[in-house]
Amino acid sequence: MRVDTFIPARFQVLTAVFCLATACSATSSSSSTDTPDAVTADAPDVPGADIVAPVDWDAFFQPTAWTDDGKTRVVILHTNDLHSHLDGLGPQADFTPGSVNDDNTIGGIARIAAMIERVRRDVRPGADMLALDAGDFTFGSAFSYLSRTEGIELKLLAAMGYTGTTLGNHEMDWSPNGAAKIVAAALPEGAKMKVLESNLVFPDGDAAAADLAALMGKQLLPYEVVTLTNGVKVGLFGLLGTGAVKLSPHAAPVTVRAPKDAATEVVNLLRTTEKVDLVVCLSHMGVSEGTVAGEDEQLASQVAGIDVIISGHSHTLMTQPLVVNGTLIVQVGEYGEHLGKLVLVRDGTTFSLESWEALPVDDHTPGLPEITTLIDNAATGLGDTMLKGTGLGYETPLLTTGFDLLTAQFAETNLGDFLADAERWTTSQHSSEGPVEVVFEANGVIRDSIRKGRTGEARVGDLVRVLPLGIGPDDQLGYPMLVFYLSPAEIKTALEVIAGLAPIVADSFYLQVSGLRFEFNPSSDLLYMVDNVWLGDEVNGFDATPLDTSETNTRLIRVATNLYIAQMLGVLQDYTGGMVVIQMKDKDGKAITNLEDAILDIDPATAGVQELKLWRTLLDYAASLPKDAATGLPRIPDRYAAPQDRAHHE
């Protein structure tokens, strides 16, 4: 789930379901001026805003005229939930890391690198700094394809001078040995940067976790002690939350020890044996988004001696730190849109908060050229790996649009309508049993918008970033699409999740639909809100007669969705006490007990199952759209300028 500001959610029930729905982390010192020419623009009144394109790096790194007040400080720069967002958010065509003040994109690892480098060069007398990350640094863009082979995200963090990060649930989505590949590919033994995990539990002798277990004590450590140039000893350790690990069934057979127990043990060791001055926890557990305390608040209240928790997982953009039991808790949203800057000052034998801010990462900051080059090289490599045989590259233009297609919480959106239609069209092209009638897609799987920007152009990288998650039985990036059958009564039950259950549980469960429209009364009782359902669509029309959704109707309706939603059906049933029961079936009405049996095989003539990936449905649908006369690119039809009113309030 995404949370734009640190405020309580309006609704919070079924806490266990909420946790499962949260599916809803060498120093560069160049002062090169070898950057592309760019448009000069007026600079707003922000730090570094006197820089205009092309970038004047000497001015950007102009040091502050600090006075020495005799105090000892520690500056912690921090990120969380980067999710492979190496480039800025916004149309790829607009992103200009080599210049400033000429685009509206936000984020971008190269910009964060420049911000970190500026602080590193400009620490005041008596201060030193650390750069830290709180996990979920993979899964979220096409660059994730390179995670296991190149460790691209970790490699970049190391190049930017980070000292440590921790594993999030999305790193564990690669499986334990897959996570090991990421770490080993990026961090050779002896690397300065470490991955910190103090509560992973490895079963003895299990080959499925052997590679990750073998990294313990090397690139993967329970804790790390760093002595800064000002003499301050900082103890760092990492935790993976119990709620987070539940979101990653591929983490098995690895489990997690209770964070309270692991933290108590490591904090005691850091304080009494290592004699550190400051204890910092890198936590992929999350803060509260409702009335129940998040795991980070719980940890702070239960374990004394933690000075700072750098938090991740809940994607919460805080406006100020939380203070629980003397522990500072900070988190800066998602996707590298902000860089946290925490300044601690020594007060006798302890440290106190001097300042904290979430610094916007946008076009007021240039991208550090060395990091930009690494990212550009990785993008080029995607054409020969992830996109091999398609004739496409990461920067290939695929679409044009005259309007934004945006996400929104707890609502049907124009983006959701477009994506669900894309999935229905593409799965129908490969369906041997006839067209797919209905598609469900979850907000928790939709991870970005499609923005018009300055040109209206959307590239491959833009579209993959919208539906980037998951891995299939083929061990390749992307949730596979499943095709199966449901009864009309089960279709209605799924729509009841949209109408009533999702708004009181989590936005991640809210479903976007294609192939039907329905009416519901939000004033009715939970699971009895949906009154009428019509099959069809806006192009071909809807049935004149509402669908008979009674239990006696034995009709079977062909449905498609992705593996994540299919996996959540059983979870939703368990945590609603059987109120929500949806059983996937084959064409003969027989229950499908093995989800892999429902995966759509797009090339039955080839041995094995050739999975249709969720991200690929959008690329294929884009290619099918009528072309724009001016650009020659397929154009998103005007009907998607607004939601289609498929979920109609009575």
Q: How far apart are CA 577 and CA 570, in angstroms?
A: 11
Task: Give me the chain's average pLDDT, please.
Answer: 90
DSSP3 helix / strand / coil % (the chain, rounded to 5): 30, 20, 50
- Of the pLDDT bands very low, low, confident and very high (cuts 50, 70, 90), residue 53 is low
Q: What is the pLDDT of residues 430-460, one digit of tens each?
A: 998 999 999 999 999 999 999 999 999 999 9
Residue 597 CA, chain-centre distance (Å), reads 28
Q: What is the pLDDT of residues 86-140, one digit of tens each?
A: 999 989 999 999 999 999 999 999 999 999 999 999 999 999 999 999 999 999 9
Q: Which CATH architecture has domain 15-376?
A: 4-Layer Sandwich (3.60)
Q: How far apart are CA 275 and CA 119, in angstroms?
A: 27
Q: What is the pLDDT of residues 625-635, one digit of tens each?
A: 999 999 999 99
Q: How far apart are CA 647 and CA 641, in angstroms?
A: 16
CA distance readout (Å), 649 to 291, 328, 418, 499, 579 = 28, 43, 20, 9, 23
Amino acid (one-letter) located at 338: H
Q: How far apart are CA 455 and CA 573, in angstroms?
A: 45
Q: What is the pLDDT of residues 528-557, one digit of tens each?
A: 999 999 999 999 999 999 999 999 999 999
Domain chopping of the chain, boundaries: 15-376, 396-638
Residue 178 CA, chain-centre distance (Å), reads 18
Question: What pLDDT does residue 507 have?
Answer: 87
- Of the pLDDT bands very low, low, confident and very high (cuts 50, 70, 90), residue 29 is very low
Question: What pLDDT does residue 588 have?
Answer: 97
Does residue 480 have a cis peptide bond before it, meaning omega lies within 30 degrees of 0? no
**In the CATH hierarchy, which top-level class contains the domain 396-638?**
alpha beta
- Contact assessment for residue 419 and residue 479, using Cβ atoms and an 8 Å cutoff: no
- Three-class SS state of 128: strand
pTM, full prediction: 0.88
- Of the pLDDT bands very low, low, confident and very high (cuts 50, 70, 90), residue 504 is confident
Kindly state the percentage of the chain with pLDDT values over 70.
92
Question: What pLDDT does residue 497 have?
Answer: 92
